[in-house]
Structure 1
Amino acid sequence: MHTKHARSVATTSAASWINLTSLLALGLLIHLGFGALLTLSVDEAHYVLYAAKPDWSYFDHPPLVGWIQWPLVAAGAPDSVIRLIPQLLWLIACLLTRRLAIQIYDLRLLRDAAQDKPAISRDTVGLWAVGLVLLAPVMHVLAVGLLPDSLLMVLVLLLMSVTLKLAQPAPHHTAQWLALGVLLGLAGLSKYTAVLPAAAVIVTLLVTRGVRLLLTAGPWFAAVVALVMISPVLYWNAQHEWISFTYQLQHGSGGAWKARRLAAFAGVQLVAYGPLLVLGAYLASRQIIKSKQWLGAGLLLFFFIPFVVTGLMSGGGGSLPHWTAPAWLAMTPFAANALAERWASGRQALILAFIRAQAVMCLVAFAALFFVGIPGLSADHPLARKNPLADLWGWDEAGLKALELARAHDLPSLSVRNWTLGSRLAWYGRPLPVYVLDNRFDQFDLWFGKIPPGTDSLFVNWSQVHFDLPTQTGEFEWCRLIGSFEAKRLTRHVSRFDYYHCRQWGANHNATTK
């Protein structure tokens, strides 16, 4: 009997590892494919320029997202190789989520101590955690394009793991407090909103260990380490009149607060991360409250603090779907435990429906990305003229075309109306400077300054975000069309780039267009 049981356990473990490897391999294959197919997005190009122009910090974000790409950019790696970084971060995040789900299972954080052992295994819980990540559409976006949130996802999970250890009553080593300080510092170097998971760390430790914890050296040692690590950001801002902090406060506050924006935020979150994860979050939170697990409640703050803050910011118009990705990953280990137990109890219908719905959502999204829109749609159709996926296609060739035309016409720079166009051109059209012809101060002003008066430039217009030519009084004297580029996917028109030779910036007379 004992031998049969051992064989059964070994067989189950082997099957779980095969399933785990299959899930991870599927995700990596998807990300490798799209990483090689699509050009850099607006934000990706902006952050890879951080690596091309290394500094202690930057106008809108801390520097880690640039520093981590610097070795590959310095070596001249292509986009597809640079995109291996977010793919590796996604893989690490999956494995960390799995490990945390198993730790939560072992500590029985979702169950009363008196409850019977559940009818699920540790490996099953881990598989559910990875499956939840794989079924969340936005997680694939962050797995292909490196954003500060891609870094923060991994760091939040590591912070949860260290906090889980430090929350235990057993004696703690200096190395654990050092790890906490390093992780907090790295989070601070990734994104300013890292202050939110930091708050979750503090509250969790105070709730589980008591206020007396503050009388020990460990927390203060961790705080000093974190402060030293974020000193480059403080140093850079001190040299630039604290512009990053001013910008973040203005950016986060948004405009007038409206309830409908909060409702839209909730709807977008449901689509972006899927109803299955939302269901798991509800079940896990309810169970932790019911069982009065203070450690579990503290760890849930890694989700609730940033999610609530981001939700409130959305009412003012200041939030994006991927901002909550680290928070949802923090919830995933709990949701995996709750959903696995519900599935094992025989209540599978709703879960299965959600799994199928999310799988279809992901497949539709992947198909749309592959075809860059809806296959067979004519170029003059309204959906084709304003195709959001066109933003990920053709910029590499358009940048090379701009560089060729600028050199052919002896033009010293490129210019655009908005930074969202400038980031791709500055990357694919390097080393030419790119001037953003607006009154907004941003990172481009720090990199390239304002366009010098009296100079000519190659102005680039894009059909998906079309601007009037910069030929008003005080702008260029005239702008003349000298070339165009049609971006196509599988013979279908995606977008058009128009290139203008614009003469004498700062002309104080009536401008014309040729």
Structure 2
Amino acid sequence: MQFLFPPEPSARARGVLLLVFVLHALLGGLLGLSVDEAHYLLYAAHPALSYFDHPPLVGWVQIPLVALDAPIAVLRLVPGVCWLLTVWGVHRLTLRLFAGQAMAPQAALAAVSALALAPLLHVLGIGLLPDTLLMALTVALMQQTWTLMQPAATTRVVPWVVMGVLLGLSGLAKYTAVFTAVAIAVCVVGAQGLRVLRLPALWLGLVIAALLITPVLVWNAQNQWISFTYQLAHGKGSVWQLSHVLRFLLTQLLVFGPMLLFAAPGWRSAPTPLRPLVWLFVIPFVIFAYMSGGGTALPHWTAPSWVALAPFAGWGLAFAWRRGMRRVIAGLASLQFLASACLLGLMSSAGWPVIAGSDAAVAPRPNPFADLHGWELAGARAQTLAEQQGLSRVAVQNWTLGSRLGWYARPLPVFVLEEGDSQFKLWAGDLSAGEGALLVDWSHMAYEAPVGAHGFASCTLLESLPVQHWGQPLASFRFYDCRGWSGAAPQPRLTLPPNS
């Protein structure tokens, strides 16, 4: 262990990064694809200027490996490298921000540790989501923001060009990057004054950013601005409730851990010129917290915000350690280590032993880890059955059931039967009247077979495929030979378990 964790803080940080990166790589080879991962891999399999629900960067970066038909373990090195760049970038950023301070190396190590012990960040380090990319870009944006807050920035062109490139890439990663852009504007204008708006270099950077996001604009113009319409409707949510916000904040504490909360005392004790950088956390986080009141914000959306807060958390932890709070910090670190280990263990075991196996074909127990296993087997079986039955397409009743099948059953096209827009409708369109398809159903989201005026003329159950993991029954897939599509989409009806 002396090799991994030598006494010098920067060397210890490298040891932590190496250890976690290897862990992510190992788990990446063991776990099946999640819903979103498979969806974004299908982006790469269908190159385009943009996509229905997200900008294109999450698909573009995977195109080379997908074109080479790389195995899942190799594909998952992409998020692993993004996580590595993110946390190492925070280490370098912390050293830069607190340069000249005696505790800077300890603060940088503490910032790395706080991120390495944040449970949810491990999920983003294994599975590539837009937020995985935005985390790495946020660190680079924070570095560049600090550069542009310096007086000398007004006389140089290159920093503004770099900022424009980073903003453009962030816009290609996720639409919510606009919140970070607002925070950057607050920091730079606050440091430089309104005179900065007269700099030609600033406008050059903005032009570069705008040019980089033109693929998104062109694609949307060609598709009736469907992405923006969807995102605006999604952002509105339902009736706003304070209880939703409180639940969201509690979830944030659990999934990112209390060590990052040391950013509050860290910010108060940080040198005054650094303090405006906290806007890169505050502005996006407050917006997401407000959105959670309508039920529209997901826990991982704030990951880039917490990454931006990490240097202040590292500084606060270093101060607290020096002032005698070592047992408190060690206790919190131990709890977060256990939480991270439990999360990764449950992902690997499909919930066992906390969630015991059940007769998944009859009444599966709720299991959030079940959908990480069994889909590769189902996809292979779907290909075989479709060929045997002379069917050239797969159908599902909800888009979340289509992502893994779309990937594992390639090249069969996947049709989503429910009404409403989705990326699958853009890829495959709608079934034509009279057509047939291999309908696939999954026990943890089981629907009644859609037979009738709204649906197929007939659906014949071909077989049920049970899935086990570590010897425990986990789920089952049902495959139907459905013929005679009516042309009218059904309203999917979930199959209720007995005694529900």
- TM bracket, shorter-chain basis: over 0.9
Q: Which residue of 2 aligns with 1:379?
A: 358
1:160–1:17: structure 2 CA closer, same or farther, 3 Å change rule? closer
Report deviation, 1:378: 3.9
Where 1:187 maps in the other structure, the secondary structure is helix
Q: Which residue of 2 aligns with 1:354?
A: 332
- Mapped to 2, the partners of 1:373 and 1:342 lie a distance apart of 36
- The question of 1:163 aligning with 2:141 is answered no
Residue 501 of structure 1 is aligned with which of 456, 477, 481? Answer: 481
Residue 147 of structure 1 is aligned with which of 129, 149, 167? Answer: 129
1:77–1:507: structure 2 CA closer, same or farther, 3 Å change rule? closer
- Residue segments in structure 1 that go unaligned for 5+ positions in a row: 1-11, 108-116
**Which amino acid is the alignment partner of residue 138 of structure 1?**
L
Superposition pairs of residues 326-365 of structure 1, within 5 angstroms: 326-365=304-343
- Mapped to 2, the partners of 1:167 and 1:474 lie a distance apart of 61
Superposition pairs of residues 287-436 of structure 1, within 5 angstroms: 287=269, 293=272, 295-375=273-353, 377-380=356-359, 385-436=365-416
- Mapped to 2, the partners of 1:457 and 1:396 lie a distance apart of 19
Report deviation, 1:380: 4.5
**Which amino acid is the alignment partner of residue 144 of structure 1?**
I
- The question of 1:125 aligning with 2:107 is answered yes
CA RMSD of aligned residues (A): 1.9
Residue 229 of structure 1 is aligned with which of 199, 206, 212? Answer: 212
Q: Which residue of 2 aligns with 1:486?
A: 466
Residue 202 of structure 2 is aligned with which of 219, 222, 230? Answer: 219
- Mapped to 2, the partners of 1:62 and 1:391 lie a distance apart of 25
1:383–1:303: structure 2 CA closer, same or farther, 3 Å change rule? farther
Report deviation, 1:252: 1.1
Report deviation, 1:488: 1.2
**Which amino acid is the alignment partner of residue 303 of structure 2?**
A
Q: Deviations over 1:283-303 (max 9, x none)?
A: 223335xx6x2x323210110
- Mapped to 2, the partners of 1:282 and 1:88 lie a distance apart of 29
- The question of 1:25 aligning with 2:25 is answered no
- The question of 1:138 aligning with 2:120 is answered yes
Where 1:170 maps in the other structure, the secondary structure is helix
Report deviation, 1:17: 4.3
- Whether the aligned pair in 2 keeps the contact of 1:104 and 1:334 (CA below 8 Å) is no
Where 1:485 maps in the other structure, the secondary structure is strand
- Residue segments in structure 2 that go unaligned for 5+ positions in a row: 491-500
- Whether the aligned pair in 2 keeps the contact of 1:200 and 1:298 (CA below 8 Å) is no
Q: Which residue of 1 aligns with 2:46?
A: 53
Report deviation, 1:185: 0.2
Q: Deviations over 1:355-393 (max 9, x none)?
A: 111111112112212211122824149996211100100
* Identity of matched residues, %: 43
Residue 417 of structure 2 is aligned with which of 426, 432, 437? Answer: 437
Q: Deviations over 1:98-135 (max 9, x none)?
A: 0111122127xxxxxxxxx65x3x32222111111110
Where 1:385 maps in the other structure, the secondary structure is coil
Q: TM-score, normalised by structure 2?
A: 0.93
Q: Deviations over 1:22-56 (max 9, x none)?
A: 21122112211210011110000111100000000
Q: Give the number of equivalent residue pairs.
A: 482
Where 1:464 maps in the other structure, the secondary structure is coil
Where 1:502 maps in the other structure, the secondary structure is strand
Q: Which residue of 2 aligns with 1:472?
A: 452
**Which amino acid is the alignment partner of residue 74 of structure 1?**
A
Where 2:341 maps in the other structure, the secondary structure is helix
Report deviation, 1:465: 0.8
- The question of 1:460 aligning with 2:440 is answered yes
Q: Which residue of 2 aligns with 1:113?
A: none
- Whether the aligned pair in 2 keeps the contact of 1:55 and 1:63 (CA below 8 Å) is yes
Q: Deviations over 1:297-317 (max 9, x none)?
A: 321011001100000000000
Q: Which residue of 2 aligns with 1:205?
A: 188
Report deviation, 1:323: 0.2
Report deviation, 1:431: 0.7
**Which amino acid is the alignment partner of residue 403 of structure 1?**
Q
Report deviation, 1:226: 0.2
- Whether the aligned pair in 2 keeps the contact of 1:373 and 1:384 (CA below 8 Å) is no
